């Protein structure tokens, strides 16, 4: 992201119509509320680090929009839909919030976006995984920015098959989320010429994966796909490492795993794991420059979610500056008309269903001997083009999609 480019955009809007812009920003202040899990399961994925990324965006923008100051509020939703919904109602009724950012747990996000739609306010979702957020739960008042389960399953499976991983064994959490991942991966693998040679479902949650990993090893599959998440994925990876699954020539594919998970588990456990990510700090000079500034503030490299919070906040502030308004419909329309071209994405765009589509990346976790530092974790194997990564509009159930 070229900060100068964004600063010039804001300055141009200020010079063109300062009095009109000031008059159309409600209360003469732009208020952004950051809502996320700040203390629980997702605190490292988004949490306080996402709030820091948002504050960086506000600071890089200059702290004001067309003379109106930018105010940031934040709250811990504790992964509770009720807590999140009540927080946002308070922000709307008492604080006249303009934008709700962050949002991680999908149950919280769906509850909050319904309120935003009812109240005519705007939300940008950066942390949630559910693809339904811009499918059956789409609204004209929210945008889904970073990733969802569709590219994490479809993108990973297709990219790995394209890389030669054409035989799969699926290890699946035995509940709706795991079943959906399993079905998605099975469909994509077979559609692209691969084969599912075996699969097993484990109870949710599970601590002992020994028998399941032995079945995966005995299958002879090139790829062992983990259709689970959270502690189940951690336990499966740990057991696979203990049994030498990767060393025996098989490849692990994580369908929902993040940079913070890999860092926490360490390369001894995660080496050779393949996964899909929407962003990585060490992709190019622009990502490294921003990530290093972020690291100075947090002592951690950013996840794709935290990078997405920064990117989406700047895109929002540019739209407010360019329209001279904080009206949700006006700003969202401007955001959709403007390509996303910054440190997070090149040639990204916001579709009519609210999904911001951009390239995704198949990566492989490095071995300890390949890594040159604490956060040197990924090697990028393949770019998954935006049009392949996300659910096509032809399959959409979103009522905003025409035809």
DSSP strand pairing (195-202 vs 167-173) = parallel
Per-residue confidence (pLDDT) for residue 3, from 0 to 100: 46
What pTM value is reported for the model?
0.90
pLDDT for residue 22: 41
CATH for 3-147+284-354 is: 3.40.50.2300
What tokens were used for 264? 């926490």
Residues of the chain with CATH 3.40.50.2300: 3-147+284-354, 150-277+360-385
Domain 150-277+360-385 CATH (choose: 3.40.50.1820, 3.40.630.30, 3.40.50.2300, 3.40.50.170)? 3.40.50.2300
Mean pLDDT by 10 residues, the chain (403 residues): 42 41 78 96 93 98 97 96 98 98 95 98 96 96 96 90 96 90 93 97 94 97 94 94 94 94 95 96 98 98 98 98 97 98 97 98 96 98 94 95 79
What pLDDT shows up at residue 20? 41
């Amino acid at each position: 992201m070229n900060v100068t480019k964004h600063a010039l955009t804001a300055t141009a809007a200020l010079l063109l119509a300062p009095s009109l812009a000031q008059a159309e920003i409600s209360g003469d202040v732009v208020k952004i509320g950051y809502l996320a899990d700040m203390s629980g399961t997702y605190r490292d994925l988004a949490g306080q680090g996402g709030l820091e990324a948002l504050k960086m965006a506000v600071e890089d923008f200059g702290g004001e929009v067309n003379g109106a100051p930018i105010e940031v509020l934040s709250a811990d939703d504790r992964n509770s839909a009720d807590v999140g919904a009540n927080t946002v109602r308070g922000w709307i009724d008492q604080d006249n919030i303009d934008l709700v950012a962050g949002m991680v747990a999908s149950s919280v996000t769906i509850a909050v976006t319904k309120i935003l739609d009812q109240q005519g306010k705007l939300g940008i979702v950066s942390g949630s995984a559910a693809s339904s957020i811009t499918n059956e739960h789409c609204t004209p008042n929210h945008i889904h920015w970073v990733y969802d389960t569709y590219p994490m399953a479809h993108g990973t499976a297709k990219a790995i098959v394209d890389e030669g991983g054409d035989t799969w064994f699926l290890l699946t959490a035995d509940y709706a989320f795991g079943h959906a991942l399993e079905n998605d991966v099975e469909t994509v693998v077979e559609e692209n010429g691969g084969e599912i040679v075996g699969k097993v479902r484990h109870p949710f949650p599970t601590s002992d994966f020994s028998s399941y990993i032995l079945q995966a090893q005995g299958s002879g599959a090139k790829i062992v796909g983990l259709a689970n998440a959270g502690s189940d994925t951690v336990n499966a990876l740990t057991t696979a490492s203990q049994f030498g699954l990767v060393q025996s020539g098989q490849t692990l594919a994580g369908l929902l795993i993040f940079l913070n998970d890999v860092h926490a588990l360490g390369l001894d456990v995660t080496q050779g794991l393949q996964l899909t990510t929407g962003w990585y700090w060490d992709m190019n000079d622009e990502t490294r420059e921003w990530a290093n500034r972020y690291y100075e503030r947090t002592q951690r490299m950013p996840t794709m979610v935290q990078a997405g919070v920064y990117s989406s906040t700047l895109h929002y502030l540019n739209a407010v500056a360019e329209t001279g308004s904080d009206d949700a419909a006006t700003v969202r329309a401007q955001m959709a008309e403007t390509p996303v071209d910054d440190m997070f994405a090149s040639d990204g765009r916001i579709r009519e269903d609210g999904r911001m589509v951009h390239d995704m990346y198949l990566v492989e976790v490095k071995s300890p001997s390949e890594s040159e530092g604490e956060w040197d974790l990924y090697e990028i194997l393949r770019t998954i083009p935006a049009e392949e990564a996300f659910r096509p509009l032809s399959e959409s159930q979103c009522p905003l999609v025409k035809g």
